[in-house]
């Protein structure tokens, strides 16, 4: 296995959203992403971390963990919160579904649109790990084959 990996944890505060985007964007430079792909990665990370901050820890700040890896030429980003969890992941992934009236409910839609793969595993009281994968675009619009994944948590 050819892997590079970093792990970072930070309090689930809105001011740390920019930090998460910068870390993910900087880490993604290990692969040959286009500027557009790098922007997509930044938006997807922003949505995942925003969900952890806004929905994961309703009672006050907790910890958001981000693991970033390059495995066999694939960028893998794991965003984990240990907050309240999602009772119905399938419903939460539907466009416009939200538990906050002031939100649009498009976070998972953006993550799924901008990344090649999205896995969401959550349960009430257990938090939410989100795994996103993206391969750099190749000539002709093809993407590289996936390699191994981040270990299960």
Annotated active-site residue in 37, 40, 47, 67: 47
Annotated active-site residue in 21, 65, 103, 137: 103
Using one digit for the tens of pLDDT, what is the confidence trace for 20-52? 999 999 999 999 999 999 999 999 999 999 988
- Inside any domain, residue 145: no
- What b/e string do you get for 98-112 counting C-beta neighbours within 10 Å, with b at 16 or more? eeeeeeeeebbbbbb
Catalytic residue list contains 16: no
- Inside any domain, residue 76: yes
Using one digit for the tens of pLDDT, what is the confidence trace for 54-100? 888 877 889 999 999 999 999 999 999 998 887 766 666 666 555 55
Q: Look up the domain containing 44 and give its range.
A: 6-134
Q: What does pTM read for this prediction?
A: 0.80
Annotated active-site residue in 37, 51, 67, 135: 51
Catalytic residue list contains 65: no
Q: What is the pLDDT of residue 147?
A: 43
Total number of domains constituting the chain: 1
How many other C-beta atoms are found inside a 10 Å radius of the C-beta of residue 115?
24
Alpha helices in the chain (DSSP H): 17-28, 35-51, 89-92, 107-114
Contact between 44 and 115 under an 8 Å Cβ cutoff? The reply is yes
- Inside any domain, residue 151: no
Catalytic residue list contains 47: yes
Q: What is the pLDDT of residue 150?
A: 45
CATH number at residue 47: 3.30.565.10
Q: What is the pLDDT of residue 125?
A: 87
């Amino acid at each position: 296995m050819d892997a590079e990996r970093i792990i970072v944890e930070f309090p689930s505060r809105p001011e740390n959203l920019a930090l998460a985007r910068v870390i993910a964007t900087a880490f993604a430079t290990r692969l040959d992403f286009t500027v557009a792909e790098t922007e997509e990665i930044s938006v997807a990370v922003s949505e995942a971390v925003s969900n952890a901050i806004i929905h994961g820890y309703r009672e006050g700040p907790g910890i958001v963990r981000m693991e970033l890896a390059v495995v066999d030429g694939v960028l893998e980003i794991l965003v984990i919160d240990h907050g309240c969890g999602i009772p119905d992941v399938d419903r939460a992934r539907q466009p416009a579904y939200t538990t906050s009236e002031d939100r649009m409910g498009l976070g998972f839609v953006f993550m799924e649109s901008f990344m090649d793969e999205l896995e969401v595993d959550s349960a009430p009281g257990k938090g939410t790990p989100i795994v996103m994968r993206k391969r750099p675009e190749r000539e002709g619009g093809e993407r590289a084959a996936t390699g191994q994944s981040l270990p299960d948590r």
